[in-house]
Structures are given as C-alpha cells and as structure tokens.
C-alpha cells in the first residue's frame, strides 16, 4: 500500500492499470512505504526521497523491481516529498526550487549520480513541480504552475524556448497537498489505447 493513500484509491488505480494491460508489481512488505511523490525517474535512474511517506524498505523494493536502473535515496526534510521541490522539466533537465532543503537535495542527487543533469532553478519550490511530456507531434511540452500563482518562477520557465509551455492553475489542490505530479499518471503507450 502506498503511504498516504486510502486502500480504495490503490485498488481503483490497480484496476485501471490492469485494464491497460500494464504490468503491476505489488509491495507486500507491510513495513515498506513508497509514495509516488517521492519517486523521480530521470529516464536514466531513480531518485527516491526518504520522507514521512517513503522509507528505505520502499526504496529497496523499487530497486529490486527496476534492476536495470540505479536507485539512489535522498533525505527529504521540511517538505512533504521529493517532488514538492523538484521534477523533470526535460530529458536531461531537473527543475529545482531555491530553498535550502531543495538545494541540499539537489547536491545529494548530483553526488549520487554518474550523470550530469542540467538544472533549472525556480524561486518557488512548489513551482518546481512540473510535468514534462515528449509528444511526437508537439515535441517538448511542459505543464507548469501558472504565472498568477508563481510569477517569478513562470518567468524562468518562459526562457525554455524549445518547449511548448502550458501554464496550469493549481491553487485549490495545493491547499490539500496536491501538486501537478500528484494529480497525474503518465503512461507511455501507443495510440491504440
């Protein structure tokens, strides 16, 4: 069971994924917790935030499941999860907030990785939670927090000239700890779905 999730929402998501014929791995260790908000997949490796909702055992199960990818843990302090202040903004680009906690986590990720990622630093941690999509007919697409919510961070995103930028207002969901990545499930499937 994912931490912070009701059993009903887990079962509902399981049924949806099964209907798409996707492989499902269930964590059966009662001591393991793993929240999607703590899992950052870069396309090369996983970074797993150790937070109130994710523990070391959950990270170990992820590593056992995805043996072809490196899995590194990152302590998360002063935030709900890892993606509360960072996410992927492009194929090699990490969006990161400016807070001390965010910058410390980024330093840990840089030390753990053999790869050097580009970084896009935004003034507001919450605005660093964005959704990158590579859509064949559109190219690089980035869903990010709206300028009326985080104007200074929106200015940073606007510098990404090779991205189609889609601002999303998320103020109401943010009040209940819902960020853009919390409200989405990205599935890389063909159009036959």
Helix (H, G, I), strand (E, B) or coil at 70: strand
Catalytic member of 81, 86, 130, 163: 81
Which of the following is catalytic: 86, 163, 182, 183?
182
Q: Which of 54, 73, 53, 77 is nearest to 63 (CA)?
A: 73
User: Are the C-beta atoms of 127 and 119 separated by less than 8 Å?
Assistant: no
Whether the pLDDT of residue 6 is over 60: the answer is no
Q: Reply yes or no on whether the pLDDT at 170 is more than 70.
A: yes
DSSP lists the bridge partners of residue 113 as: none
Q: Distance (Å, rounded) from C-alpha 145 to C-alpha 151? A: 9
Task: Please check whether residue 170 is in contact with residue 143, taking contact to mean a CB–CB distance below 8 angstroms.
Answer: no
Tell me: pLDDT of 156 over 80.
yes
Pick the residue with more confidence: 160 or 171?
160
| pLDDT tens, residue by residue, 60-107 | 999 999 999 999 999 998 888 999 999 999 999 999 999 999 999 999
The sheet carrying 39-41 orders its strands as 39-41, 45-50, 70-75
Residue 8: the pLDDT is 66
81 catalytic per annotation = yes
């Amino acid at each position: 069971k994912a931490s912070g999730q009701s059993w009903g929402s887990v079962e509902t998501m399981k049924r949806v994924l099964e209907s798409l014929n996707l492989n499902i791995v269930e964590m059966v260790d009662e001591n393991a917790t793993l929240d999607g908000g703590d899992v950052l997949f870069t396309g090369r490796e996983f970074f797993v935030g150790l937070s109130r909702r994710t523990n070391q055992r959950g990270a170990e199960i992820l590593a056992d499941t995805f043996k072809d990818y490196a899995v590194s843990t990152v302590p998360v302090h002063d935030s709900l999860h890892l993606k509360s202040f960072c996410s992927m903004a492009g194929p090699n680009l990490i969006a990161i907030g400016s807070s001390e906690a965010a910058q410390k986590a980024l330093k840990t990720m840089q030390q753990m990785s053999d790869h050097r990622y580009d970084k896009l630093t935004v003034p507001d941690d919450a605005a660093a939670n964005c959704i990158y999509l590579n859509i064949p007919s559109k190219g690089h697409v980035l869903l990010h927090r709206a300028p009326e919510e985080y104007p200074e961070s929106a200015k940073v995103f606007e510098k990404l000239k090779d991205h189609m930028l889609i601002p999303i207002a998320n103020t109401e969901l943010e009040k209940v700890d819902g960020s853009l990545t919390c409200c989405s499930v990205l599935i890389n499937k063909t159009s036959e779905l």
